[in-house]
Structure 1
Amino acid sequence: MTNVLIIESKLQDANALKRMIEQANPDYNICGVVNSVKDARNWIMNNKSPQLIFCDIQLPDGSGFDLFGSLPVAAPVIFCSNTQEHAFKAFENNAIDYLVKPFSSDRLQKSFRKFTQFRQLFGQQTVSQAQDFNHAVSNVSKYKSSLLVYYQDKIIPISLDKLDFIYYNNYQVNVHTQNAQYETRDTLNSIINSLNPHDFFRANRQFIIHRKSVTSIQQYFGRKLLVGTSFPTPEPVIISKANASEFLKWVEGLNKVPEYSVMH
């Protein structure tokens, strides 16, 4: 049984989240519901630590960040907010995910998968110690969940789940989704270092590809690999001989950070 604490300013939102969690997985037990920084602090100090916390950012007597900035909490946190503006700060405060209200059951399930991944990576003994936990969270949360791109005269976030590939050509880096193409000012080198290596691979000097997009692999000239993808690309996606072994391990799901022999 996984004990979950809900810190939510609005009772209606707290009850809705409670129902969503219980419907998503009967093994999740709501061990407490509080609506302020003060009540949350008292609850945490006087009860056994939960395994997971959902925390609203805007609370009546402060922010969720105030709580975790002043109190060592040995549990991962999923922050909830009405806007995207606090996302970066959230990952500096024990966050493993950030939900923008209103969110769907499918989006909540994605948060639970992140939580499950965290527990598999670090185990229960790790999260029982606040110092070790904070180190573990920093390792998990260092990867982005979205990229900022330029669209017309705006800067907008693109969820990495929607991303098919990132392509460099003629000094320009573009982010491609199924339905659109966006410009980014980052380099491929900078971007790949901020992405979860379980999901993304630096194929060559031109491409970063998402795991979900790989449909086939075949031998190519000089012991290179030609990657078949579920989307059209401006040019063939070719893995060099030097990176072929790491690519095959990545496709098999071995969670090792690739060491690339070519970088832009």
Structure 2
Amino acid sequence: MKAIVFEDETRAANHLERLLARVAPEISVLAKLESVRDAVKYLQNNPEPELIFSDIQLADGLSFEIYKQVEVSCPIIFTTAYDHYAIEAFKTNGIDYLLKPVEEERLRQAIDKAKHFSPGLVLEKLLAMNRPVAEKAYKSRFMVKVGDKIKSVPVEEILVFYSQEKASFIRTTDTHTYCIDYALDQLEPMLDPEKYFRINRKYIVAIDACTNILAWTNSRLRLKIEGIDDSDIIVARERVVEFKSWLDR
């Protein structure tokens, strides 16, 4: 079976190739490409492979752009450090979605799926995944303590969730700050990903808060949010591509 790998991290690409040598020595890796541009060029000028291993965040953008520019009929196994793109992945010929670091047993299972690939199975998977997503209800309000009273804050009034000194806070559109009883890791799945984005370990920001964005060092971005004087409101470098895609919908 002839395969190609789209991966912008050399270490990850080499790790995958070593795993393939153990798990499926019958698979021959024809090329390893680091960018959307190089991947599109390769697919346009070479016979289609029998299998594609595709990271999602490549050097110059999201790999989904490849499949918008070039029609691919072979199965695709996605590999990524994030689990946010599963639905989008199965809109292509994605047959599996492996989180990094890729584990040997999961890779073996994915390759077995590739050997039994049919477009109809991908459609069934996409429909099954869309049902629970469509039905999911995100948190609509948070209860906060103000003196000896309890106040209800609608989520649409919250510009940012952030952690500071082992506590979590919200900043609202009317410039108030309140402490809440959730860690950011707990909050993330409670919030609508169309409206909120986790830019780093300390901050989850609302799309309405992202009006003042500055280019920052090491290919990062910095957000300036009214009422918060903190140099840590930085979009982590590994999240910049995804953040820009989230804004530009």
- Please tell me whether residue 70 in structure 1 is matched to residue 32 in structure 2: no
Alpha-carbon distance between aligned partners in 1 of 2:115 and 2:124, rounded to the nearest angstrom: 15
Deviations 1:1-52 (A, max 9, x none): x011100011111111111112111111111111100111111111111111
Corresponding residue for 1:42?
41
Structure 2 CA distance for partners of 1:142 and 1:76, relative to 1, 3 Å? farther
Corresponding residue for 1:137?
122
Structure 2 CA distance for partners of 1:139 and 1:110, relative to 1, 3 Å? same
Deviations 1:188-213 (A, max 9, x none): xxxxxxxxxxxxxxxxxxxxxxxxxx
Corresponding residue for 2:103?
104
Alpha-carbon distance between aligned partners in 2 of 1:71 and 1:4, rounded to the nearest angstrom: 16
Alpha-carbon distance between aligned partners in 2 of 1:70 and 1:42, rounded to the nearest angstrom: 10
Alpha-carbon distance between aligned partners in 1 of 2:91 and 2:109, rounded to the nearest angstrom: 20
Alignment of 1:1-264 (within 5 A): 2-118=1-117, 122=118, 133=119, 137-139=122-124, 141-144=126-129
Alpha-carbon distance between aligned partners in 1 of 2:96 and 2:35, rounded to the nearest angstrom: 20
Instruction: Indicate the RMSD between aligned Cα atoms, in angstroms.
Output: 2.8
Alpha-carbon distance between aligned partners in 1 of 2:125 and 2:111, rounded to the nearest angstrom: 14
Confirm or deny: 8 A CA contact 1:96 1:141 kept in the other structure: no
Alpha-carbon distance between aligned partners in 1 of 2:12 and 2:47, rounded to the nearest angstrom: 24
Alpha-carbon distance between aligned partners in 2 of 1:16 and 1:107, rounded to the nearest angstrom: 14
Three-state SS of the structure 2 residue aligned to 1:66 is helix
Unaligned regions of 5+ residues in structure 1, if any? 123-132, 157-264
Alpha-carbon distance between aligned partners in 1 of 2:6 and 2:47, rounded to the nearest angstrom: 16
Structure 1 segments of 4+ aligned residues over 4 angstroms from their partners:
147-150, 152-156
Three-state SS of the structure 1 residue aligned to 2:101 is coil
Cα displacement (A) at 1:93:
1.8
* Amino acid of the structure 2 residue aligned with 1:11: T
Structure 2 CA distance for partners of 1:117 and 1:144, relative to 1, 3 Å? farther
Unaligned regions of 5+ residues in structure 2, if any? 139-181, 190-249
